[in-house]
Each structure stands twice: as C-alpha cells, then as structure tokens.
Amino acid sequence: MATSLLSRQLVLSLQQNLRLTAPGCRYVSKAAAKTQMEFEYDGPSMKTEVPGPRSKELTKQLGEIQNVGAINFFCNYEESRGNYLVDVDGNRMLDVYTQISSIPIGYPAEFPMFTSFSSQSAFVNRPALGIMPPENFPEKLAESLLSVAPSGMSRVQTMACGSCSNENAYKAMFIWYRNKERGHNIPSDEDVSSCMINQSPGCPDFSILSFMGGFHGRTMGCLATTHSKAIHKLDVPSFDWPIAPFPKLKYPLEEFTRENAQEEARCLEEVEDLIVQWRQKGRPVAGIVIEPIQAEGGDNHATPDFFKKLRNIAHKHGSAFHVDEVQTGGGATGKFWAHEHWGMDDPADIVSFSKKMLTGGFYHKDELQADKAYRIFNTWMGDPSKNLFLAEVLNVIRRENLLEEVTRSGKTLLQGLYQLQDQYPNLLSSARGQGTFCAIDIRDDATRNSILLKARDKGVLLGGCGDRSIRFRPALVFKEYHVHMFLNVFSDVLAEHN
Amino acid sequence: MATSLLSRQLVLSLQQNLRLTAPGCRYVSKAAAKTQMEFEYDGPSMKTEVPGPRSKELTKQLGEIQNVGAINFFCNYEESRGNYLVDVDGNRMLDVYTQISSIPIGYPAEFPMFTSFSSQSAFVNRPALGIMPPENFPEKLAESLLSVAPSGMSRVQTMACGSCSNENAYKAMFIWYRNKERGHNIPSDEDVSSCMINQSPGCPDFSILSFMGGFHGRTMGCLATTHSKAIHKLDVPSFDWPIAPFPKLKYPLEEFTRENAQEEARCLEEVEDLIVQWRQKGRPVAGIVIEPIQAEGGDNHATPDFFKKLRNIAHKHGSAFHVDEVQTGGGATGKFWAHEHWGMDDPADIVSFSKKMLTGGFYHKDELQADKAYRIFNTWMGDPSKNLFLAEVLNVIRRENLLEEVTRSGKTLLQGLYQLQDQYPNLLSSARGQGTFCAIDIRDDATRNSILLKARDKGVLLGGCGDRSIRFRPALVFKEYHVHMFLNVFSDVLAEHN
C-alpha cells in the first residue's frame, strides 16, 4: 500500500492558509476559516427537511426487512467528504457524530489503496486469522495496532466488533483469575466434566464489577456490565454481578475539587465493599471494567486520581483492571487513549477498542494471555483488511499531527460551550470534555431532542447520550473553523429554545 | 458493481472440456479431470514440510504479539487460486477445510469489483447501519441475503460475526417470549428499574435449550449453549440452562432406521421433559437452538423426522425454534440451507448464518422482530461491503449451478469414503454426509491427528471435529476431479496408518 488512503486530503489539509470567511457568522464564534476547500465542502447545505423524501422512501423499503425505528436517514457516502456527510436527498451536514463516534479521519474522497493487487487480495480473501493468517499479518499488526499500544502492553488480539472484544477480554480475565486461584493451569477432571454442562467448578461463579451508567456492549456477557439505558437490557437474562456507583461530579471539575473528591471517595469505598461482599457470596470479582469517560451513559467524567485509586484497589484485591476504550480511544480526547490523561505507567491489564480503530480487539499484559490455544478464538478473529486501513489512518494522524489539532479544536469547542452555558443558564449546564470529546447537559430530555433535530435541519449532525446530554463526536479532522461553524449554528438553535 | 468478483474463474469453469489426466492415480479413484486449468493449479505441490521455515519464522514473530498455539501456517493469499491454498513457503495444498468452512467459492484470482468507485466507497466508509445506512443497502440486502432467505422468512439482520449473530438471535427470542408472556409489549416500572441492576423481572430467568455436542459460538450467551469441547468453556461463568442429548445415530442412516428412530425418540422425550422441568424451576425455555448437522461437535446427523418433531415440540411449548446454519449454510450440503433437506414449509423461527455467507446475521419470522428500536442494535451491525461480496458470490453460485456440482461431488466423495471404510474397517467408520459436507470417524484421536498431518504433508488440507472425526469442508467449486485427487492422497495416507 504505497499511497495513502487520504493522500489528497492530506496534501490539502497541510495547506494552512485560511481562504474563506464563512457567511452568516453570528454571536459567539469567530469567523470560520477553512483549509481544505478543494477537498471538503465549504459548509452545510440543506435542500429538504431530514429525513427527506428519498430517505423516507428507502426507510419504508428497509422497513419490509428490518426494524427501522433507529434509522435517521440514508447516506450518499460517495459524495461525503471530510467532516461533511451527504444524505440521499442532497443535504450536506457537518458531522459532529460520525457514525456513533466511529469515523477516525472523516469521509475520504478517493481510495488509491485499491490499486494494489495485494491489498485487494486482503479485502477479498478473509482468512481464519487464528490458524492461517496472511504473510503480512504480524507486520501489519506492528504497523497499526502495536504502534499505538498502551503503556505496558505489547500484546493485542483483534476481534470483529466492540462487543466481541469485551466478551473475549472478560474471558481472558476469567481464565487468568482461575489459573491464579488454582496455582497452576491444569484443570481437574471435575473442571472438565462440569464445564460441559455449564456447572461450577468448570464454569465458576466469577463476576465482573462494572459501574452504573457504564456501557460495554450488548452481547450477554457485555450486557451484564452495561447499565446506561433500560432499553438495552430489558427482557434479557443476566448475571448476578456487582455494580458500583460511578462518581457524579460537578463541572467544571477544577471548580469543585473538594466535593468531587468526596464523591469519588464514596464510590471507591463502595467498590471495595462490593468486592468483599461478592467474594463472600462465592462470586469473586475476577475483573473490573470501566470507561475512562462514560460515553453512552451521559459523558460522565472522573478524575485521574479516581482511576489511579481504582487501579490500586484492583491490584489489592487481585482483580484484573480492564479499561474499555471502545468509544474514547483513537485520539478524540487529544491523546490516543483517554487513559493517557491519567499519567500512569501501568494504567490497565486490558484495554479494549473498536469504532475509530476500524477493527475490534483488546490489548493485554503478558500474563493476561490465554495459556492455551483455542481459548480466545473464533473463525475470523477480526478482519485483516481493517488492519490495513488502520495503518493508513495512523499514518495520516501522525503526519498531520491530528492529536494536536484535536487538542486545539477541543479547547475552542469547550470554551464556546462555556460561553453558551453562561448565556443560557436555564437551558445548558455541565459543559465538559477532553479534546473534542465534549458534552453538555440540556434542561430536559424533550428539549435536548428538539435541539438535536433543529440543529440537523440547519445542517449540523449531533448525537445524544445519557438522559439529557448532547455528545460531540467529530472526526479527528475537525478543525477550529469547523468548531466555529458548529457554534454559530448551535447558538442559533439555542436561541430558539430559550 | 458491473463486473463479477470471479469473472475469470466463471468463464473458465464453464469450459466443461476435460483436458488433463492427473498423474499418480491409485487405488480407489478415477482419473482426476479438471476444467479450470488456466485459472487453477493442476494439483498440490509441496516444497517443504508444513509449517515450513518461513511459516515458523512468522509464527515466532506473531508469538510476540499473540498466542500462536492454533497457528497452522502462514498463507500467500495472492497466489492462492480456486481450491488451492498456497503457503508462504510455496507449498500449494488442495484445501478441503477452507478457513474453517468459510470460503464459499474458492480463492479468487482477480477482483474487478474494485474498479468501481462506488464499491470502493463501500469498503472505506463503514456506516453505522442501524442509523445511517448507504442508499443501496435495501437493494443489496434484497440481491444478497433476501434472495436466499429460508422458507417463511422475509426479514434479516446482519451482524459482524457468528457469535454476535447468535447472541442477538437469542435476545430476539427472549424479547419475543417476554412480550408473549406479558400479553403486551409495555414493560412495568419494576421491569425497567430491575433490569438496570441485572435482576428479575427486568432481566428474567429465561433459558435457551441446547444440545450436548452443539456449537453456537464463544461469547457468553452463545457459550452457554455450546457443548462440544471443554477447552471452549472452561473457566467461563455460565447460565443454568437445559441441555438435551443429541441423537447418537448409526451410519449409514438408511441401514439403521429402526434403532435410529428409537434413539431420536429418546432424545425428543428428554427435550420435552427438560422444557417442563425448567418451566417448573422458574427458568422457562424461550427458545431451542440446534444445528442441522452438529459440525464442531463431530458432524452428528439427525433425520428430517427428528427435526420436524422437534419443531413441533417447540410450537407446543411456546418456545422459539432457532436453526443455527453458521457452518451448514451457504450450499455445502447441496441445498443452500441444510434445513431444506427436512422438506418443511415452516422450518424455523430464526435461522442464523456467518462463515460462507461472508457476513454474520440472522433471518427471522415477522413476529420475532424486536418491537422497538435499539433493542437489537450495535454500532456497525455488520459491514455493507460484505453484502456486496455476497451478492457477487450468489451470482456465481447460480450461474455455475454450484449446488448441483456440490451434490454431484458430494456423492462421489461419500461413495469414495464408503469404499475406503470397507477397505479399512479397523481404521475408519461412520462415513456420512450431505453434499460435500461429509465426515468420517477414525480409530482414535491420535491416529486422526496423524492422518491430518500426513495428508497435509502430501498437499491435502483437512480439518478435524469432535473427538476423532475428520470433517470435509471444501469450497462450492470442489469438482469431481478434485474429489478423486483428494481420495487418491487420502488412500495413500490411510495405507500408512493401517
């Protein structure tokens, strides 16, 4: 793959001259300046309400095949560019949601990678990676996932999606915990026979401790650790596993340090109590799973001090510590992994990822590697074509210094949100964020949803999270001038809701 | 996508003239004739032992990153063609295992589909399919998955892998069962609040009935229904769900009809007993999951009569009936779905798939559709580029009449296995199969494994299943002359083990 996935975008975005002043600048924001005009569009352009007639027609068609209750609209991905998503009715929207936070560097304009026969081969020949990988598999893992491995981790396992990644990470923790408990890795005859019928000791009554408000996926193991919305969990059998409170902090964090520290201490105490309780009831906590920022659950933050202490509690009680970076990973917080903000050399035993990483999977410390073959295994174990993409995406991130861009854009975004919050104190509260991974609370659920729709009609695509928050999840190519463009539209929409 | 994925192979394979007599024909098999010589290789070609030095070197490299206990060797997919897999040491093997049964029509030689910008776009722009699908999504679903929908099903949900497919199918059954139990689909306040902490009634104590020897995946819901090998399940917590015996039949089935019918009746009786027992202990059976042929568990067959009666038992007790066609689906049994051999208009409520279908997912009857948005949901919900591939693959299957080819090759294969079994009665037993989806039992585990390795050294790649079986899983382009080529090598290997 000699040429870059986004070579044209790369060249253009390096042209740092500001060419254009966006029309219609109002209120809070500076003139929106742009650098990518030949590649990107110069702003949103709305032709119909959203969803428009073509989207409605296609939604009806798809409704014959699937539940379409969650369909927003249909997209024209061929016409989408950079930060702009184009729908099938020709509406062009500034995308601050990016397919639920899963587009790393925007929508590309061309794909020179496909000119290479060997990369075409990788797309067509999907191997069973666990038994017969392609020749370049170790090299591509090194170029892609290992080049951004979290501190202390040199091992990684790819999987097809985020839920499978967490499921297998949980299994790795159970296997590790059980071998530690045994003192060796040789199962007894009773282990072997009882596991075949789902019974202990072969299938031990271990648990994973999770946090209220957390989201870790929707398969049954993951779902037992997901506690963000009832609709995800309703009617599905689950495990009796401990659930700790996640700190409910006040924002900005630096203005409420004492109260927030008390709240975090309360939660940490509860974590230790739960670990002891569950051990006593014969369901020891093999692992603790947590997001660095609870995303789906409402963009709930905690301080580095909280995570450091939690990490220590895991150590103290012999539980593995699993940081779920499926949504936070890949650069949107201004560091490649959100846990880097904690400043720890040994932040975790397992770090799982998906979304912006284009492939699912998890990093782990050496001792968390399954001791035998076929324990962490399935037919595909990921998709090597996604590793090729990721290697290209990481090249772009490095060459364009996108993490610095994100930090810069993020500061401007958060500053703008603070200003709007001051202007609309009855409407907005708790502006918060790291990098462009920002959020703000709205007065109530109904107003939040109305704001989301109004913003969309004005060409800005946003997503909600939690009960009444808006989450901002732009791609890493979201520049300061995109921030200003967004803030102008957002400000107009808020004025209509005051 | 104007051109076909395998256009060259297609043209060549339509040249039905027989050009070559394979050298070295021995014992059982007729002359191996071939039709695809310009596309395919003319036979295996071994240069080193397997794994060879380059594979060993790469395995060592990968060992720094992952557990490599299951790695067989590394592949050169660019050089692989049709039924031949080429490894990184230049060994060319007739592939009768096809990446754990997941390559539908062999390894392609060229990929004209990538010349189209719009299909390239589908590979690069991975949308969140549940909220913002591409314009051609309904059309591609219709062209691909719906064009081969099982009887009585017009709805399909894609997923990223087989385990996620079954997990979500189970969730669909739980949701359906609970709404049926409620008499409506409005959860109570207690349902909503209790589900958030993993407790009943919101997370009800429902169960899925599965069969001993079954394999349905490795995530925690799936794993609770998987009972093929201890290594899959060991040390992972599970659910207390009922496990019925799968019939242990004698082969050939038609020679033991009375004994087999008795065995099947015994198992069906046990199924009904378990359903009643689990209802009594407050864990009602929301669904029954079964493979049409237990694959991973040892290629265990049952008769159409068994499946018909099982289907009726599910009806009678109000449980959903889920047929897992992850390994059996896609044509290898000579029908597109193995359950078609049962001859039923209403064979199932849910049919799940993956592997040869290139995407995971499940078909379901209308009433099994989740009643609300975001219940069967995740970020990616499959990968639309795989639907494009599948549409092309299905075109090839139809135009080349590959299901007829499979039926023909399968008869020749099974006939050959019967002959070998007669010749080596102390070594071989229970030859069985549908289409090319065949298997045979070997005297013991050690001999089986030795045969697998010896066959590989002679250029034939096979896989094991169960305790001591060999499973045959060629691609759908495995012709009669490939069967003869295989039988010749297999015969030589058996002679060494007699």
- Whether A247 has a pLDDT exceeding 90, the answer reads yes
pLDDT, tens only, B70-115? 999 999 999 999 999 999 999 999 999 999 999 999 998 766 666 6
Residues in chain A: 498
Instruction: Give A431→chain B minimum CA distance, Å.
Output: 25
Is B379 a known active-site residue? yes
Give the separation between CA B301 and CA B214, rounded to whole angstroms. Answer: 11
Residue in chain B lying closest to A185 (CA): B235
List CB contacts (< 8 A) between A68 and chain B: 373
Q: To the nearest whole number, what is the mean pLDDT of chain A?
A: 92
Instruction: Give B17→chain A minimum CA distance, Å.
Output: 28
Asked if residue B247 lies in contact with residue B432, where contact means CB atoms within 8 angstroms, the answer is: no
Give the separation between CA A198 and CA B211, rounded to whole angstroms. Answer: 12
Closest CA to B120 of A109, A222, A158, A417: A109
Give the separation between CA B87 and CA B418, rounded to whole angstroms. Answer: 31
Give the separation between CA B161 and CA B354, rounded to whole angstroms. Answer: 6
Q: Taking CB atoms and an 8 Å limit, are B132 and A75 in contact across chains? A: yes
List CB contacts (< 8 A) between A168 and chain B: 218-219
- B180-190 mean pLDDT: 97
pLDDT at A125: 85
pLDDT at B115: 62
Q: pLDDT above 70 covers what percent of chain B?
A: 91
Point out the catalytic residue in the list A240, A379, A422, A445: A379
Residues in chain B: 498
- How many residue pairs bridge chain A and chain B with CB atoms within 8 Å of each other? 392
- Whether B496 has a pLDDT exceeding 80, the answer reads yes
Q: Taking CB atoms and an 8 Å limit, are B167 and A198 in contact across chains? A: no
pLDDT, tens only, B29-46? 444 444 444 589 999 999
- A467-478 mean pLDDT: 98
- pLDDT confidence tier of residue A112, bands split at 50, 70 and 90: low
CB burial of residue A406 (10 Å; 0-12, 13-18, 19+): buried
Q: Identify the weakest region by mean pLDDT among A298-307, B16-25, B124-133.
A: B16-25
Q: Taking CB atoms and an 8 Å limit, are A379 and B122 in contact across chains? A: no
Q: pLDDT above 90 covers what percent of chain A?
A: 87
Asked if residue A206 lies in contact with residue B237, where contact means CB atoms within 8 angstroms, the answer is: yes
Contacts of B215 (CB under 8 A, 6+ apart): B226, B227, B228, B232, B291, B294, B295, B296, B297, B327
Per the model's pLDDT, the better-predicted residue between B6 and A442 turns out to be A442
pLDDT at A448: 98
- Whether A166 has a pLDDT exceeding 60, the answer reads yes
- Whether A88 has a pLDDT exceeding 80, the answer reads yes
Strand, coil or helix: what is B164?
helix
Strands (E), B60-142: 84-86, 92-95
Q: What letter represents residue A381's amino acid?
A: M
pLDDT, tens only, A265-276? 999 999 999 999
Is A233 a known active-site residue? no
Closest CA to B168 of B282, B289, B338, B318: B289
Is A355 a known active-site residue? yes
List CB contacts (< 8 A) between B122 and chain A: 77
Give the separation between CA A355 and CA A88, rounded to whole angstroms. Answer: 24
Complex ipTM: 0.93
pTM: 0.93
Helix (H) or strand (E) holding B394: helix B384-399
- pLDDT confidence tier of residue A294, bands split at 50, 70 and 90: very high
- pLDDT confidence tier of residue B15, bands split at 50, 70 and 90: very low
Contacts of B439 (CB under 8 A, 6+ apart): B298, B299, B430, B431, B432, B433, B465, B469, B470, B471, B472
pLDDT, tens only, B244-261? 999 999 999 999 999 999
- The token duo for A475 is 């791609």
Choose from A97, A120, A191, A198 for mutation: most chain B CBs within 10 A: A198
For residue A16, count other CB atoms closer than 10 A to its CB: 7
Q: Which of B135, B231, B358 sits opposite A374 (nearest CB)?
A: B231
How far is CA A75 from its chain centroid?
Answer: 22
